[in-house]
Chains A and B, each alone.
Chain A
Amino acid sequence: MQDILSHLKRGERAIIIDVSSIHIPLKLLEMGCLPGNAVELVQVAPFQDPMYLNINGSHLAIRKETASHILIEKVTHE
């Protein structure tokens, strides 16, 4: 099931399907936020914002707004 990254819950994993390159800066892409890579929500601050993610082995935090421009496919049961 496809969804946007900002809907991911703590501890959940997903695969990045698409990133809207107009809204996502190059820097984030270069840090590994690219289609095909795995993403896990490690921790959230109050109000789910910002989101502390593990993308492709890189640990980084982005705002919910940015995360809403990233399309993902949730990984259910491994």
Chain B
Amino acid sequence: MSKQINVALIGNPNTGKTSVFNALTGLNQKVGNYPGITVEKKQGICKLPRGVKAHIIDLPGTYSLNASSLDENVVIELLLNKNDKDFPDIAVVVTDVENLKRNLLLFTQIKDLQIPTLLVINMADRMKRKGISLDIDYLESKLNTKIALVSTRKNIGIDTLKQLISNYKEISVKPCLDMSVIDPAYFDDLKKTFPNQLIYKLWLVITQDVNFGTITRKEFKTVEDFKTKQKGDLKRLQQKETIKRYQFINEILKKGKTVDLSQAKDLRSKLDRVLTHKVWGYVIFGAILLLIFQAIYDWSGIPMDFIDESFSSLSEWVKNQLPEGAFTSLLAEGIIPGLGGIVIFIPQIAFLFLFMAILEETGYMSRVVFLMDRIMRRFGLSGKSVVPLISGTACAIPAIMATRNIENWKERLITILVTPFTTCAARLPVYLIIIALVIPEGRILGLSYQALTLMLLYLIGFGTAITSAYILNKVLKIKGKTFFVIEMPNYKLPLFKNVAITVIEKTKAFIFGAGKIILAISIVLWFLASYGPGEQFNNAEEIINTKFASENLSPEEIQHKVASHKLEHSFIGIAGHAIEPAIRPLGYDWKIGIALISSFAAREVFVGTLATIYSVGSDEEETIKNRMAGEVNPILGGPLFTLASGISLLLFYAFAMQCMSTLAIVKRETNSWKWPILQLVIMTAFAYIVALIAFQFLK
């Protein structure tokens, strides 16, 4: 028999649910999205004893089945929809031994849906240190379940867990709470109307705004009539239900769990005294941010140079090895430089995700949220906006999705609107190459000018985000309850495996996501740069030969002149020339114009585009940087990339909204075209004006 067992992993945030998932599936996992929404769907395969396979879904972390966000909604929708192909044969609820009481609330809710439910008590390695002892037999009998005592850190209990999963049919589905005790009249009435339905399931349908599949909706159609009670009354019943659940849990834990406080060693309060301190807390946070930027700029420089050079050599090698022709040219001048533009991201993206993963895993991120809430609120943001603003330094897309746990809509909307100002990784290659070209190499007080410029750009991005938040807060008239709650988890040493998997998965997703766009654009650009209409393009050699016939030029010089003449009259050259009048006041030429146009799809395309444009027709093996340094300003003469045009370009990229994926995600998260269009227009206009002022002032 080879029937797969469907397993749903469910648990509160910070219980190590993902560690359990990683321990069960190893690298045998797949991250995707739930259809139609951008909630991450993680699933994997786990081999159980006797050749049985389990298909495991790691559901988003939630505190209860009463969903308050899109992510949490996924959990309840799956558990209520028996027709879903992923509907679990068994639910595995992961809990943290130190927060067992609160974690069990979710367990009782799921158990009441009469799905076989297994309890994982995680972080068992901490029991001794905290003086906790558990009476597992007692807990199993009172909760009517099987318990796996697990420590993913010490790799204990995973085999037991697998064993228990494979015997899922033995688990009782007896519910924990008799709903009638909450309001006998109301629930008896409900029971009479739907004799074949689970009361708790009905109750969830009544109290939630869940988007059910059509079948489920039909099944529950008449439930609408039961929303007779006022919202406030329903909430009072929910409160009563919660109290009853806790009574049940407290009763059980009184005997099942004992804590000997004299044994407990409290690392939390010692660390918190420093890390959330009124002064030291902020100093440490600042130092950590500095360290992150140091890593991105300095440490990733070496692998990035290496990647840059390797791709130029590869391109050269291909050109020499393959027979001349359109295909070789496409490969060497379109695809390889384009790919290089993607691969060069990997070190920085990986570093950013690495730090973000460590900050999350250790529990430090919640302390930052706590420290920053008051300050951020002054700007119309929430402490929780710090996480999107920091992850925005990697990529605005996951950052905007991370705003989902901001409870207040206005604070959330403002966070979404200003996050694209933070310096995302896609801007980095643009910054790095322009800084290298126009900022001198000297040092001041041991800090290099170039590093300082980069740091300044980050500060400008962050400062603009904060300032525009402040303005938006004054302008936007949205009323809503301010509400904020965040769990302060225990401090934990990050698990290497968790961090590694996060870094690999996220980097991969980013590279492949952005990669597809960059590659496509590179190919299109190569085509547009290699072909052109009319006489000027097709007879370039003749034209140049006649033009310079009198001057005694070497064959190389002639070839170079032909190539640039061709480029100028190719399709892309024509497009670039068309927009040149608009961008000349900013100090750019038509080649940069092409890069600007193409980078409205995605900023990172800029370097790739220039690489493609400059390598078309170029002969020598050269890095992109050297080619850019050699460019001459067609009007003013002298190098094209001067301090003035460089700064102007840097500022343009700092402010302009050049990312279609971000606009798409903003549309999806705000459910309206109004906000992304506003972002596009305002940010780009602002960028143009600032770049204009900068160039005119500096030139």
Chain A positions within 8 Å of B, measured between CB atoms, are 21-23, 25-32, 34-35, 42-43, 45-47, 49-50, 52, 56-63, 65-66
Output the residue of B63, B269, B374 with the most chain A CB within 10 A: B374
> Which residue among A21, A25, A61 has the maximum number of chain B CB atoms within 10 Å of its CB?
A61
Interface positions of B from 466 to 485, Cβ below 8 Å from A: 481-485
Q: Does B487 lie within 8 Å of A26, measured CB to CB?
A: no
B52-93 vs A, Cβ < 8 Å mask (1 yes, 0 no): 000000000001101010000000000000000000000000
Q: Which residues of A contact B483 (CB under 8 A)?
A: 25, 63, 66
Complex CA distance for A56 and B101, rounded to whole angstroms: 9
Which residues of chain A are within 8 angstroms of B101 by Cβ–Cβ distance?
A: 32, 56-58
Name the residue of chain A whose CB is nearest to the CB of B487: A60
28 of the cross-chain contacts (CB-CB < 8 Å) are A21-B235, A21-B236, A21-B239, A25-B407, A26-B66, A26-B235, A26-B242, A27-B64, A28-B485, A30-B64, A31-B102, A31-B487, A32-B246, A34-B243, A42-B269, A50-B374, A56-B102, A57-B98, A58-B102, A59-B268, A59-B488, A59-B489, A59-B490, A60-B485, A61-B369, A62-B484, A62-B485, A66-B483
Interface size on B (CB < 8 Å)?
A: 41
Q: How far is the CA of A59 from the CA of B272 in the complex (A)?
A: 12
Residues of A near B232 (CB, < 8 A) are 21-22
Do A49 and B485 contact each other (CB < 8 Å), given the known contacts A27-B63, A30-B64, A30-B105? no
- Find out whether the CB atom of A34 lies under 8 angstroms from the CB atom of B242: yes
Is there contact, CB below 8 Å, between B272 and A42? Answer: yes
Closest Cβ of chain A: how far from B131's Cβ, in Å?
Answer: 14
Q: A25-B407, A59-B489 are in contact. List 9 more A-B contacts (CB 8 A).
A: A26-B239, A29-B238, A30-B105, A34-B242, A42-B488, A45-B276, A52-B370, A60-B488, A61-B484
B335 at the binding interface (Cβ < 8 Å): no
- Name A's interface SS: mixed
- Distance of A16 from chain B, by nearest CB (Å): 11
Set of chain B residues within 8 Å of A27, measured between Cβ atoms: 63-64, 66, 68, 485
Residue among B268, B484, B487 having the largest count of chain A Cβ atoms under 10 Å: B484
**Contact across chains for A50 and B373 when beta carbons are under 8 A apart:** yes
Inter-chain CA distance A45–B236, complex, in Å, is 32
Counting CB contacts under 8 A, is B278 at the interface? Answer: yes
A52: which B residues are within 8 A, CB to CB?
Answer: 272, 276, 370, 488
Residues of B within 8 A of A34 (CB): 239, 242-243, 246
Report Cα–Cα, A46/B374, bound state, in Å. 8
Contact present for A57 and B242 (CB under 8 Å): no
Q: How far is the CB of A70 from chain B (nearest CB, A)?
A: 12
CA distance A47 to B488 in the complex (A): 19
B264 CB–A CB distance under 8 Å: no
> Which residues of the other chain, B, contact A22 by a CB distance below 8 angstroms?
232, 235
For the complex, is B383 an interface residue (Cβ under 8 Å from A)?
yes
Q: How far is it, in angstroms, between the C-alpha of A42 and the C-alpha of B242 when the chains are bound?
A: 25
Do the beta carbons of A58 and B99 come within 8 Å of each other?
Answer: yes
B495 at the interface (CB under 8 A from A): no
Q: Mark B472-515, 1 if CB is under 8 A from A, else 0.
A: 00000000011111111110000000000000000000000000
Chain A residue at minimal CB-CB distance from B276: A43
Question: What residues on A are CB-neighbors of B64 within 8 Å?
Answer: 26-27, 30
Bound together, the chains give a CA A62 to CA B481 distance in angstroms of 14
